[in-house]
A and B are shown apart, each in its own frame.
Chain A
Amino acid sequence: MNLKRFIFNKRSLIYLVVLIFLLIIPFILSPFNLILFESAITFAIVGLGFNLLLRYTGLLSFGHGAYFAAGAYAVAMVGRYVPSIYSIEFLIPIAIIASLVLSAIFGFICVRHTKIFFAILTLALSMLLFALLFKFYSVTGGSDGLYIPTPSIFGVTFKRRPEFLSGPYYYFLLVIFIICYMVMKVIVSSPFGKALQAIRDNETRAELIGIRVKRYRFYAFIISGTFAGIGGSLWTFVNGHVTPDVSHWFFSGEIVYMTLLGGFFIFEGPIIGAFVFTFLKLYAMGFTEYWMGIIGVTLILLVLLLPTGLAGGVVTIFNKLKTRKVLGGT
């Protein structure tokens, strides 16, 4: 009975198709495109976290690069100063703790405000981190950044990075991504998630029915920042190098951009945005020196024509077709 319902459920069918597709990706893509795809997965994790603030709590953060950087630099620092524990099973928890602590500190300050004030505060604090990473040359490598060696996974070491990235790391990344996806899905549909949405819709009313507004926002901020940190730490292994640029507001802007591109009204929107953005950026860069222009024009078109993003656009079209079908039937 359960199995029957499970198979004939349209939603789980989509999940299954996507999963099979994700599993065979390393056989379809060239090594270079696979690396791009992997970095898109890490951005998708960041996007999931980012959207908890934007879509479900109604807060626009312009400083998510800071928590991304916390995760990334945690990995880099361990690689530089404690190479004896440079193994992925230690690195990820360390990165989680680093980004959690940083987002707790920054969040404590930021969640007292909303709207533009919140956005400016997050931006300012992330630029503070940028300045620290940039200026402490002897510790952080300054603008040169730090090199990220290939880590070992559960004791298995790899000599060349493509060997590591082509197989084992991709599936490792996929598993983490699926876990993050499910955790976020649970969070947004839990009573906590509903409370956040209540706060977003009407702060005063939420407060009056007994929701502790600031505390809930604070929790959401920490969860969101930690997701960015996980994404950041996973991204470093793909990129092989980390510079203070990831804590610059330009980079935070890219996170905002990919979320808007995918469509933040839909849970999966930021994920789609991360993939499209990663490939769009690279091909725009290869196409012209003025690739920023292409990104800018896309953003303008997006705001004017597809305010709900790519995912939102698809859903709208799908709904229209559905209505037409129903109308045709009557």
Chain B
Amino acid sequence: MEKTRRDFIKIAGGAAIGAGTLLSGCREEEEKVVEKRGEIPKEPVKIAAVSFLTGVAAAPFGIPGNNTFEMLSEKINADGGIMGRKIELLSKDEAGGVDAQVKLARKLILDDKVDVILGYISSADCKAVLPLSDELGDLIVAYDCGTQELMEGSHSPFPVPKYELGFRTAATLGLDNIGLALMIKKYFPDIKRIAGINPDYAWGRDSWSIFEESMKKLMPQVEVVGTWWPPLFTTDYTAHISALIGAAPDIVHTAFWGGDAVTFTKQALGLGLFDKMTVAYSRGEPIPQEIGKDFPENQIIGCAGPHYFLYPPQDKWPLNKQFVDEYQKKYGKYPTYPCYHAYQAIYSYKAAVEKAGSLTGGWPTVDEVADAMTGLAIQTPSGNITIRADHNAIEDGLFGFTKLTSKYPFPILDPERIEVFPTFVVNPPVGIRTVDWINSW
């Protein structure tokens, strides 16, 4: 009895392997789909938009980003869609961690069969999801996340692009942190002590390392008196703030964003941190509007590129005025940088499809869209962006100091002390790692 069962399993196991090889050969036939040129499908183009819709990062980041996607796809649809196809927007939640996002992206591509995913605020999610673009053969556009590692290789010069079908339509955090160092060199040439408090994952770690490298090059006399790494979405920073006050730096670097930035700032206000030092927020642009009048003056703010509702000046750049007016009318707030990033993502996709479509005469394949997107330059409310051969966009960097005015219920960037660093000063050349570029200065 025992013997026969084992025999059976042996035979069955052999049969399984044999059948498996045979059957897997047959499958390939099915997957070849013949493409007809010159035809544009009637059904809508499916765009998945993934941002934080729940949790602490939702209100200041995910929801403004998602609002913009909704507003702009309505606008594009009202103007006739993309090559005549209406946009069907699938808004998805970025909450739940890296693992959940990998599963979601896989589901969107394989099950929902979306044409493109525009998404991701968290650098960790970007790093995990972008490889899926080439693996599953669909376009994924990172719209907001910042880690420079996303598109960089392990040593300079690295081959580009890293992902054939993966793009990022915004600049990296290199811009934010090199820009902060340039600001500090210009406005605080005599400081001696700096410190850092950053969230403990890709975004925080990489932000600090770029900032530290830049400071070493630009101001070698400055000493780092401490670094703190609270986990992402920490709710109580009082211990960190006390330690910071104890370490007594002149300037504190932070890459906090979303709910973390708001929580940290409110608790730091309560403990009097801003009386003793200046805080340099690498992507602080949305925070004053989120906190209101209480947000301290004279803090250094980065805008994740040149993204600001007052820059470029609305009388000189009508696209910005139009965008700010439409957004404010619909949602009652001024657009923040995630909104501008969302604009760049959806319009880059539209422009790339139309460019490829005009060449091929029909709805382009993902590979054709990817080709068209490489080297694409479009006008945006913040000026213009160029997507380079490394599939990453480059932008200018806007920085300033907070100042309360009578016109707005929150501090704005002091018009007297606004700095715009040109693209080539804050973005490394194609194929060179940001760190290596800084060290070559």
Binding site for B on A (CB under 8 A): 2, 5-6, 9, 11-12, 15-16, 19, 22-24, 26-27, 30-32, 35, 137, 142-145, 147, 149-150, 160-162, 166-168, 170-171, 174-175, 178-179, 182, 239-241, 243, 245, 282, 285-286, 289
Contacts and interface: CB of A to CB of B under 8 A. Distances in A.
B8 A35 contact: no
A171 B17 contact: yes
Contact of A142 (B20, B21, B201): B201
Shortest Cβ-Cβ A-B pairs, 5 listed: A167-B24, A171-B20, A161-B135, A32-B110, A144-B124
B231 A143 contact: yes
Given A6-B4, A143-B200, A166-B27, A240 B131 contact: yes
Given A30-B110, A178-B16, A144 B5 contact: no
Interface stretch (B98-106, B289-297, B406-414): B98-106
A185 B137 CA distance: 41
Given A26-B27, A144-B202, A167-B23, A289 B93 contact: yes
Nearest to B136: A162
B367 interface: no
A137 B227 CA distance: 15
B128 interface: yes
Given A137-B201, A239-B99, 5 more contacts: A9-B5, A30-B110, A168-B20, A240-B131, A286-B107
Nearest to A16: B12
- Between B127, B135, B205, the greatest number of chain A beta carbons within 10 A of the residue's beta carbon is seen for B135
B416 interface: no
A269 B93 CA distance: 34
A285 B13 CA distance: 35
B102 A240 contact: yes
Given A143-B231, A147-B128, A167-B27, A12 B16 contact: no
B19 interface: yes
B135 A32 contact: no
Contacts of A178: 9, 12-13, 16
Interface residues of B, number: 47
Contacts of A145: 98-99, 124, 128
A23 B97 contact: no
Contacts of A282: 103
A178 B20 CA distance: 14
A150 B97 contact: no
Contacts of A137: 200-201, 205
Contacts of B131: 147, 149, 240
Contacts of A35: 106, 110
A6 B8 contact: yes
Contacts of A26: 23-24, 27
Contact of B136 (A30, A160, A179, A289): A160
Nearest to A11: B5
Nearest to B24: A167
Contacts of A285: 100
A150 B124 contact: no
Given A144-B127, A241-B128, A174 B5 contact: no
Contacts of B103: 239, 282
Contacts of B27: 26-27, 166-167
B54 interface: yes
A179 B220 CA distance: 61
Interface in B248-304: none
B382 to A, nearest CB: 29
Contacts of A12: 4-5, 8
A23 B103 CA distance: 25
Contact of B200 (A142, A174, A239): A142
B20 A239 contact: no
Interface of A is mostly: helix
A23 B5 contact: no
B134 interface: yes
Contacts of A23: 16, 19-20, 23
Nearest to B10: A182
B132 interface: yes
Contacts of A166: 24, 27
A30 B112 CA distance: 11
Contacts of B137: 160, 162
A150 B200 CA distance: 28
Nearest to B122: A144
A289 B107 CA distance: 16
B204 to A, nearest CB: 10
Interface string B22-59: 01110100000000000000000000000000100000
B98 to A, nearest CB: 5
A260 B232 CA distance: 33
Contacts of A27: 23, 27
A167 B231 CA distance: 40
Contact of B135 (A15, A144, A150): A150
Contact of B16 (A9, A175, A245): A175
A239 B110 CA distance: 14
Contacts of A175: 13, 16-17
A12 B3 CA distance: 12
Contact of B24 (A22, A30, A143, A168): A168
A143 B199 CA distance: 11
A28 to B, nearest CB: 12
Contacts of A167: 20, 23-25, 27
Contacts of B124: 143-145
B1 interface: yes
Interface in B121-174: 123-124, 127-128, 131-132, 134-137
A15 B16 CA distance: 13
A282 B21 CA distance: 30
B107 A32 contact: yes
A5 B132 contact: no
11 contacts: A9-B4, A12-B4, A15-B9, A23-B16, A143-B98, A143-B231, A161-B135, A170-B24, A171-B24, A240-B132, A241-B102
A228 to B, nearest CB: 18
B111 A30 contact: yes
Given A19-B16, A145-B128, A245 B24 contact: no
Nearest to A27: B23
B152 to A, nearest CB: 14
B20 A31 contact: no
